[in-house]
Amino acid sequence: MKHALLAALVLVAGCAAEHERTEPSNIAYGSATGPGTSAAPGREAPLPGSSPISTSSLPPAGPKPGLDRMLRNERLVYAQGLERILLGNGMAASVRVHEEGQAGPVPALMFFGQFSHSFVHRAVTEGAVLERARALGFRSVEFIDRGPSGNYMFELPRTGPLPKCAAHNRLCL
């Protein structure tokens, strides 16, 4: 039985390969200069009656939209995970992602709550929030304190060392 299945697969593969060799293709590769002319030396002209394929009208390749969407989703999942950790530890806080249209560097990871100076310091150093945020493509991390401590914003460069101080030197690590 095992050999019969293998023989059937080989037979099917052989028939498919034979079919591809005997079927003429209606697609010709070349430039859109016209039938019978060759755009580059050494290339064959398209067959009469076939439509040439040209990529000259396509826009230049840029960042992949799927990759951007994937990074947005990862940033959102990261923010939701951080919020669950904070709420699980009894902190009344929320974490949001601002992707575009906001003042300042975006995308931004934003924490809202009552944060002490020492909490922000621990989150940035021991929690490695800045490293992970930069790896996910965030351009800034902001702790927006609803209490008297004030706000802390860290602008993240794309490369190089992470910031040692928050904007306006409100907190230095």
Most confident of 77-81, 101-105, 143-147, 163-167: 77-81
**Mean of pLDDT values over 87-108:** 88
More confidently predicted of 62 and 11: 62
pLDDT at 126: 93
Output b/e per residue, 114-143; b: 16+ Cβ within 10 A. ebeeebbbebbeeeebbeebbebebbbbbb
pTM flag (> 0.85): no
Query: What is the distance between the alpha carbons of residues 77 and 74, in angstroms, rounded to a whole number?
Result: 5
pLDDT at 9: 36
